[in-house]
Chains A and B, each alone.
Chain A
Amino acid sequence: MIRLVSAELLKVRTTRLWIGLLIGSLLLNGAGALLLLALAGTAEGRDAGLTPIRTTEDVRMIVSAAAQALLFVLVLTATMATTEYRYSTAAGTYLTTPHRGRVVTAKTLAAVPVGGLFGAAAGLLALAIVAGWFVVKGGGPTIDVTVWVAVAEDALQCAYAGAIGAAVGVALRSQVVAILVVLGWTLVIEPLATGLVPSLLPWAPFAGAATAFGAENPDLFARPAAAGLMLAYAVAAWVVALVLERRRDV
C-alpha cells in the first residue's frame, strides 16, 4: 500500500495542476486575510460586522478562515481519479495493480496529505500575514498555542476534504461532473440546505462537521463528535467509490 500511495503522490507531483491550485488557494486566502485586517476597525468594517483585531481569539479566527482552501483541495483531489479517465491512464493503473480496491484506497489515502499540505500552507500564510501586519503597524495580540492549533485544524479540514474529493472523483469518473458536484455541494447545496433547515447544519459535511474544527460555534457538534462524523463521511465516500469502481469496466 505504501508503494501505491507513493505512486499516487508521484502522479500529483509530476503534473502542474497542484502547484497552480496551491498558488490560487494561497492568493485567495492571503487576499482575504489582508482585506480582513485592513477593514477591521474601520467604519466600513464595522458596517460589515468586523471588530478591530485585538485579541488572540481574533487572530485565531483569521487563521481558521484559511480552511476555505478546502475548495481547492476538493477540486485537486477529485481530479486525481478523473484525469485517469480523461487521459485514459486508468487502464495502465489497473494493469499495474489489478486489485481495484487497493488503487481506490491508495488514492483516498494519498489525497489526505495533499489536502493537509494545502490547509497547513493556507493557515501558515494567514498567520504570517497577521504577524507581518502587526510588525508594520506595531503592537498586536499574543500568538499562543491556540493559534497554532488553528493552523493544524486548517490542515485537518483540508485533509478530510482531500479524502472526500478523491472518493467523489473515483465514483463519478467525469472530470467536469466531479468538479461541479464538489463545488456545487460546498458553495450552493450546503448553504442552501442549512439555511432552509438550520437543524441540518451540524450534520453538513463541510459547513458543519468540518467547521466544528474552526471558530467556536455552539450550533455545531463538539470536536470529538464532529471528528467521528468526518471519519464516517470519509469512510462512506471511500466505500461508495470502492463498490462502484469494482463493478465497472475500464
Chain B
Amino acid sequence: MTDAPGIEIRGLSKLFGPVTAVDDLSFSVPIGSVTGFLGPNGAGKTTTMRCLLGLARPSAGQALLTGSRYEDLRDPLRIVGAALEVTGFHPGRTARRHLQVIAVAAGIDAARTDAVLAATAMTEYADRRVGGFSSGMRQRLALSAALLGEPKVLVLDEPANGLDPAGMAWLRGALRTFADRGGAVLISSHVLGEIQAVADRVVVIGRGRLVTEGPTDVLTASVGVSVRSPSADVLAEALRADGATVAVEADSLTVTGTSIERVGEIAARAGVVLHELRARTTTLEEAFLELTEGGTP
C-alpha cells in the first residue's frame, strides 16, 4: 500500500452524448475512513463509481485507487472489493458457484469462498440457486464477493438496500471494523440514518458536481440551543440582553449566537426553572436536503 488515499477522484467528468453525468468532480477517501457518498437520484454517484472501477471510461480527469487506475491494478480484487447495483448474478448459479467463478478467475484460494459466505451469514444458502434469493440475500452475496480478495478498499453502491435491521447492524459493524483495520470505504446509500451512523466523512454531489465534503460531525454540527421553561419570556429577555438571538414559541426557545453553557449560566443567574436544555443538531438528512435543495438521496 502506498501513502496515496484509498480513493482519489481528480477533475473527473463523464459525458453520455450531450448529457454531463459527472462534471469536474474531485474528492478523496482517506485510508481508515468510511466515507458516505450522497446525492439526489441522477446526481452521478453510480457513474462516478463505474469510472472509478474501470467499467466506464472517464471523459476527462482521473479516478484512482491507492494511486493507480483500476485497470492498472495487478490483482484488483486484493486491492478493491466492489458491490455495485450494476453487478448482478446468474439466476441459475448457486451462491457458492458464483463466488468460485470469481475466485478461479482471480486466483484466490477456494477456501475463501466458505470464509466470506460465513462472514456474511450466507453459509446456509450457499448451495441454493441465486434466482430464488431475496434482495437482502443478494446484497449479502454481493458483499461476500466484494470481500473475497481481502481488499484494502471497499466501494459499495447502496449496500443497505433490502437488508433487514439485523443485516444493517451487521453491515455497520463490518464497515467500521474494516476501516478501523486500515481500510477505506466509499459507500452510497439512500438510508441517510445508516450513513450518519457509520460514516466519518461525507461527500455530497448534485448534478455531477461536488456540493460539499467533510467530516460527518461538521455537517451535522450544532445549530443552536433548544430550551423549554415555564418562564420562557423572562429567559428570552435575559438571553437577548446577553446578545443571543432567540425565537419563542409557547414555552420553547430556540437560541442561536451563544453556547449551551452560556444559556445555562444565564438561566441560573435569572433564577429561571428549565424543563429542557439541549444543543440542536441537524440530522444528515436535514443537511442533505438543505445542500441539495430537497433532492431525493
Contacts and interface: CB of A to CB of B under 8 A. Distances in A.
A87 B57 contact: no
A95 B50 CA distance: 10
A96 B86 CA distance: 14
B94 A14 contact: yes
Interface in B64-84: 70-71, 73, 76-77, 80, 82, 84
A137 interface: no
Contacts of B57: 247, 249
Contact of B82 (A10, A95, A97, A249): A95
Interface stretch (A1-9, A33-41, A127-135, A209-217): A1-9
Nearest to B71: A98
Contacts of B121: none
Contacts of A89: 87-90
A55 interface: no
Contacts of B90: 11, 14-15, 83, 87, 89
| Chain A binding surface, main DSSP class | helix
Contacts of A94: 54-55
B290 to A, nearest CB: 33
Interface residues of B, number: 32
B266 interface: no
B101 interface: yes
A62 to B, nearest CB: 35
A15 B93 contact: yes
Given A15-B93, A96-B76, A96-B77, A91 B102 contact: no
B215 interface: no
Contacts of A247: 57
A20 B118 CA distance: 33
A194 interface: no
A15 B102 CA distance: 15
5 contacts: A7-B104, A11-B90, A14-B94, A91-B55, A249-B57
Interface of A: 3-4, 6-7, 10-11, 14-17, 83, 87-89, 91-99, 247, 249-250
